[in-house]
Structure 1
Amino acid sequence: MDRQKTIMIVEDTEMNIDILVEALQDEYELIVAINGAEALELAEEQKPDLILLDIMMPEMDGYEVLKRLKETSELNHIPVILLSAITDSDSKFKGFSLGAVDYVTKPFEIIEVKARVKTQLKLEDARLMLEGQNIILEQKVKERTELIEKTNFATIYCLAALAETRDPETGQHIKRTQKYIRELALELRSNKEYEDVLTDEYIELLYKSAPLHDIGKVGVKDSILLKPGKLTDEEFEEMKKHTIYGGESLMVGIKELGEESFLTLAKEIALTHHEKWDGSGYPRGLSNKDIPISGRLMALSDVYDALISKRVYKGAFTHEDAKAIILEGRGTHFDPDVVDAFISREDKFIEIMEQFKDC
């Protein structure tokens, strides 16, 4: 059974109160207030479903009561029908502009009052139903969006793991580099030049796209990728193509999902993380800020991790040795701002290195 609706009558004339009570008491629970202050107090306590509010009251008129109701978050949704003997357009306009839903003139026509009350209560029920449906819909959209994001990033890790099977000595390389790149980005955004670019959303996407930086290695021959000794010039030229292979493979996904997909940033990283600040990198020989910030951040993260990791062709460097090499490459291999961010966060780099050591 539906709950009986509660209506508050705010009126300072006893005769008008009696008329309204007589008209409405059989269908609704009624609350009566004889002045504005009492009306606000009772509204706070009992949260009526609708308010019939007289305009012309002493001390605090109906306009002021209405204004205060609409300024109170717990009460501003309650529909208010104004009651008044004043019928000019300006008075009605003022009431509606303050948030009233209807306006009934005195002397009352009981049939009209009952009809307008019923109409406004039905409208409020419809509003509440729609609001509830919107909440459910928003929750479903949120759940769907979260599922899509989880699917996207599960795909990223699956692809990254595939690349890692071709180069098993990298071990925890994926986890370390994505954590390094996030630390660098968080530090670099304190620089005013980057604060608008390195937003929380961008950094999170950067973090989750970073594992695909070497996806192109799946296209490199085992004889080159797993060679224990130094690569020949010809072999190195082939190895460098992993950036192109990565960009091309990710472009296939972008054509399906669109340029706004998470794969766009992943492609940018895959293509540019071997570019160098002085233009001597590959595959395009980009220099300075022609290299996207994502590529500049991954360049340092990737090199640092390669230095501190054991490979078939070399032993693991200490943090201090790796730091010295990176400092030496400031302004040639690496963006000076990114190197400065690295120095500011080197304690975090050491923590990550220790936490995600290769087994």
Structure 2
Amino acid sequence: MIDQPLKTVLVIDDEPMNIKVISGTLKDKYRVLVAKSGQQAFERLEQQRPDLILLDIMMPEMDGYEVCRTIKAAPATATIPIIFVTAMSEHVDEEKGFAAGAVDYITKPISPVIIQARIKNILDLMDAQQALTRQNQALEQTVAERTSELRLTQHVTIQALASLAETRDNETGNHIRRTQYYVKALAEHLASVGYYQDELTPTNIDLLFRSAPLHDIGKVGIPDNILLKPGKLTPEEFEIMKSHASLGAQALLSAQETVPELESSFLRYAREIAAYHHEKWDGSGYPYQLAGHDIPIAGRIMALADVYDALISERIYKPAFSHEKAKAILLEGKGRHFDPNITDAFMAIEETFVNIAQEFKD
């Protein structure tokens, strides 16, 4: 078996000690290039295109934000993923970093485990996206090839994205898998009794099932001190946490626009699930305060599945509730939090929910 060449990581930092620590952390798994200023980084990029860039913010002459914007503005380097690695830990600093074009933001002092996990998952995601482009070109040959290869590519992309989300959220466990099967069970029952049949076709139900794992993908944009806080969030922190719904939708919309031929496929459902699974039937949810049937069916189904699983799961701030207690809370939300038809569907198949929770328990 031929060994695959090492991926190349360019470290841009003006502090020799920071370069030494990061290079020492990565040298066994990656080929590490070094630049001590923005100008030196541009010279390195003219000679070789790295697979990923680690970029400090506080540097003389040209700060990291300007370096990032310059790299993203050049067609030859625009697609290189950039992670800020910096001591600047304020929320506004992170927002500015993402606005400049970064895909992630790590605060110093660095954790070797965290920086290696973030780099691996981002590079895996880039590989999946490149595979998606290559495979879509090949899929034009026959309809059969297109269907088969597209399904495989969708699976790879979902797994890469879901894996990226899991590295940020220490409470995920089997939540993704359980909610995926709850969504499928609810959709199949609704269709079987005559509700939403135009939307809940067998093909669309399969797309919902495969898209459901991406409902919390926006959490990759939430700062660690909020996402991983061992306790109840303050009102201000909760407002930031709520932004994961719109962040996820925006990320998936960007992916959809990159590959427009997937408009009617799983990316549409993934975007709707990410965007609308915290909306409420009475309009009191977030982020858009939609109400009733204005909320896409994917979001309405995911809302009940997500809340049920949160109720029966242990969290730092609460014990696991019994199925009966969770059921009582869902019934209280009928017509307020949840679509009444979907609540009735849950009641009709509650044993299926219990079995799914048992099969995929943490």
TM-score (norm 1): 0.60
Match for 1:168 among 146, 170, 173?
A: 170
Task: Give the distance between the partners of 2:161 and 2:198, measured in 1 at CA.
Answer: 30
Deviations 1:20-55 (CA, angstroms, capped at 9, x unpaired): xxxxxxxxxxxxxxxxxxxxxxxxxxxxxxxxxxxx
Match for 2:210 among 197, 208, 211?
A: 208
The answer for the alignment partner of 1:188 in structure 2 is 190
Q: Does 1:336 align with 2:340?
A: yes
Q: Does 1:241 align with 2:253?
A: no
The answer for the alignment partner of 1:224 in structure 2 is 226
Aligned residues: 222
The answer for the alignment partner of 1:351 in structure 2 is 355
Pairing of 1:1-359 with structure 2 (within 5 A): 141-258=143-260, 259-358=263-362
Moved over 3 A (4+): 137-141
Q: If you compute each CA radius of gyration, which structure gives the higher value, 1 or 2? A: 1
For structure 2, the residue ranges without an aligned partner over 5 or more in a row are: 1-138
Task: Give the distance between the partners of 2:349 and 2:166, measured in 1 at CA.
Answer: 27
Deviations 1:82-130 (CA, angstroms, capped at 9, x unpaired): xxxxxxxxxxxxxxxxxxxxxxxxxxxxxxxxxxxxxxxxxxxxxxxxx
Task: Give the distance between the partners of 1:162 and 1:180, measured in 2 at CA.
Answer: 22
For structure 1, the residue ranges without an aligned partner over 5 or more in a row are: 1-136
Deviations 1:238-290 (CA, angstroms, capped at 9, x unpaired): 00000011011001111112222421111011000000011000000001111
Answer whether contact 1:254 1:261 (CA < 8 A) is retained: no
Which residue type is aligned with residue 145 of structure 1? T
Answer whether contact 2:140 2:146 (CA < 8 A) is retained: no
The answer for the alignment partner of 1:132 in structure 2 is none
Task: Give the distance between the partners of 1:193 and 1:200, measured in 2 at CA.
Answer: 13
Task: Give the distance between the partners of 1:252 and 1:138, measured in 2 at CA.
Answer: 23
Task: Give the distance between the partners of 2:181 and 2:259, measured in 1 at CA.
Answer: 26
Task: Give the distance between the partners of 1:323 and 1:179, measured in 2 at CA.
Answer: 17
Deviations 1:179-210 (CA, angstroms, capped at 9, x unpaired): 00000001111343412221100100000001
Task: Give the distance between the partners of 1:139 and 1:187, measured in 2 at CA.
Answer: 37
Q: Cα RMSD between the aligned structures?
A: 1.7
Task: Give the distance between the partners of 2:191 and 2:212, measured in 1 at CA.
Answer: 18
Task: Give the distance between the partners of 1:144 and 1:267, measured in 2 at CA.
Answer: 22
The answer for the alignment partner of 1:103 in structure 2 is none
Answer whether contact 2:208 2:266 (CA < 8 A) is retained: no
Deviation at 1:140, TM superposition (A): 5.7
Task: Give the distance between the partners of 1:232 and 1:187, measured in 2 at CA.
Answer: 39
Among all aligned residue pairs of Structure 1 and Structure 2, give the percentage whose two residues are the same amino acid: 60
Task: Give the distance between the partners of 1:243 and 1:307, measured in 2 at CA.
Answer: 19
TM-score (norm 2): 0.59
Which residue type is aligned with residue 208 of structure 2? L
Secondary structure at 1:255 match in 2: helix
Which residue type is aligned with residue 345 of structure 1? I
Which residue type is aligned with residue 328 of structure 1? E
Task: Give the distance between the partners of 2:336 and 2:310, measured in 1 at CA.
Answer: 18
